Chains A and B, each alone.
Chain A
Amino acid sequence: ETGVTQTPRHLVMGMTNKKSLKCEQHLGHNAMYWYKQSAKKPLELMFVYSLEERVENNSVPSRFSPECPNSSHLFLHLHTLQPEDSALYLCASSQVLDTGYGYTFGSGTRLTVV
């Protein structure tokens, strides 16, 4: 465990389902991130939260909805996804929003949309 815990590890969902991904960090970090990793593509930044406020949203479709109730927890709510949304979803955290300190990643959720 890296100090960033993601659940579930694997998720299979139909296109009409609603599910949520959960991320929890135990490092006292103030910034949290959602990334999408698809095969043979660079990591894609989806959402950034600093002190529970969303600071960046990189043109992500509205079928992905983030929630950050406190600085330790981050959720990604999913609904009416498409097969092309199948990917590894990674949560990360850093001490502060300035990324000079590097990120700590969670183990990821492998999502398959059928």
Chain B
Amino acid sequence: QKEVEQNSGPLSVPEGAIASLNCTYSDRGSQSFFWYRQYSGKSPELIMFIYSNGDKEDGRFTAQLNKASQYVSLLIRDSQPSDSATYLCAVSPPGQNFVFGPGTRLSVLP
């Protein structure tokens, strides 16, 4: 059973703080990792992807991947109320379609 786990939250952080979202996965052969943001009532939107161990930065977002420990995280710096959404982690096991986690609900408090 291929699984992707996330803390469902809600994760509450004050405006301007760093939000840290974590995801673990079970298939050690997974190669591609994605973070999607989903606002309430809307469809998921791809915000970051990472393939290699280490950090990948894009604006206020940083994705971190550690394949040995089988976790991937998303850091959001200078969190804004507009970042309040559910963040979905998706993992691509080799030769298979995405496996999505249940999502972490983030609430940024003004």
CB of B100 within 8 A of CB of A102, answer no
Whether A78 sits at the interface, judged by CB under 8 Å, is no
CB of B98 within 8 A of CB of A99, answer yes
Distance between Cα atoms of A63 and B32 in the complex (Å): 33
Q: Which of A2, A42, A102 is in CB contact (< 8 Å) with B103?
A: A42
Whether A12 sits at the interface, judged by CB under 8 Å, is no
- Nearest-neighbour CB distance to chain B for A22, whole angstroms, equals 15
CB of B97 within 8 A of CB of A102, answer no
Q: Is the interface of B mostly helix, strand, loop or mixed?
A: loop
CB of A33 within 8 A of CB of B43, answer no
Number of interface residues of B (CB under 8 A): 22
Whether B17 sits at the interface, judged by CB under 8 Å, is no
Kindly identify, within residues 90 to 114 of chain A, every residue whose CB is under 8 Å from any CB belonging to chain B.
90, 99-100, 102-108, 110
- Nearest-neighbour CB distance to chain B for A13, whole angstroms, equals 19
Whether B54 sits at the interface, judged by CB under 8 Å, is no
Kindly identify, within residues 67 to 110 of chain B, every residue whose CB is under 8 Å from any CB belonging to chain A.
88, 92, 97-98, 100-103
CB of B101 within 8 A of CB of A99, answer no
Residues on A with C-beta less than 8 A from B88 are 43
Total A-B contacts with CB atoms under 8 angstroms apart: 46
Whether B55 sits at the interface, judged by CB under 8 Å, is no
Q: Which of B42, B46, B101 is in CB contact (< 8 Å) with A104?
A: B46
Q: Which of A56, A90, A99, A110 is in CB contact (< 8 Å) with B44?
A: A90
CB of A108 within 8 A of CB of B43, answer yes
CB of B100 within 8 A of CB of A100, answer no
Residues on A with C-beta less than 8 A from B100 are 42-43
Kindly identify, within residues 31 to 56 of chain A, every residue whose CB is under 8 Å from any CB belonging to chain B.
33, 40-43, 45, 48, 56
CB of A107 within 8 A of CB of B42, answer yes
Q: Which of A2, A42, A99, A102 is in CB contact (< 8 Å) with B43?
A: A2
Q: Which of A42, A99, A102 is in CB contact (< 8 Å) with B102?
A: A42
CB of B43 within 8 A of CB of A106, answer yes
CB of A103 within 8 A of CB of B46, answer yes
Distance between Cα atoms of A94 and B97 in the complex (Å): 11
Distance between Cα atoms of A41 and B44 in the complex (Å): 14
